[in-house]
Amino acid sequence: SKGSVTMNEQTQGLIVLFCLLPLVLIALPAVFILLEAMLPDILEQSRVHLARKPRRSFFTGLVNGFFLLVLTGVLSGSGVGLLGLVGLVFLLALLLLGIVGFGALVGTVGDRVFALWERPASPGTRLVGGSLILEGLLFVPLVGWLILTALGISGFGAVLLALYPISGAPSFWIRG
């Protein structure tokens, strides 16, 4: 009818975005604070790898992430029930390691930002600050997304290095 007001899909999308955005901005720092409380040793070792060996962390994450994603895709697309289930487990493991990697990354970014201001920060403040900075990259199209992707790969690799340290690796690999 003429008197009724209808919203188009763009308006509905904007309303959902502006309602969900504050929740995401609050929820992600809470997730990273919870990770810090539950896995402090793994996150600390991952942060050490990110700070001391960023190239090694990146390439470890890139190679292993690519291999595991391909393996997950092959297993999930095989059509066999048990292999599909194994693929799903691999995917969940990748997601979990990625989230833990971002947890280490958030702490590293928070440390470095507060070091620039020459101000000591509590662990919670450091995690919230680092989280908000990384969330800000989501709003910078393409460049921010590429930076966030590269940082995420590095965080993933740092977690893998913290969980499975490389021993007997060639010297060119260790220097990175």
Q: What is the predicted pLDDT for the residue at 84?
A: 82
Q: Which single residue is written with the structure tokens 């493991």?
A: 93
Per the model's pLDDT, the better-predicted residue between 5 and 23 turns out to be: 23
Cα distance between residue 172 and residue 176, in whole Å: 7
Q: Cα-flanking dihedrals φ and ψ of residue 68, to 5°?
A: -70, -35
The stretch 7-23 carries a mean pLDDT of 80
Q: What is the predicted pLDDT for the residue at 171?
A: 43
Q: How confident is the model at residue 169 (pLDDT cuts 50, 70, 90)?
A: low
Q: What is the predicted pLDDT for the residue at 139?
A: 86
Q: How confident is the model at residue 117 (pLDDT cuts 50, 70, 90)?
A: confident
Cα distance between residue 158 and residue 166, in whole Å: 11
pLDDT for 87-99, tens place per residue?
A: 888 889 999 999 9
Average pLDDT along the chain: 86
Q: Which residues of 9-31 are buried (b: 16+ CB within 10 A; e: fewer)?
A: eeeeeeeeeeeeeeeeeeebbee
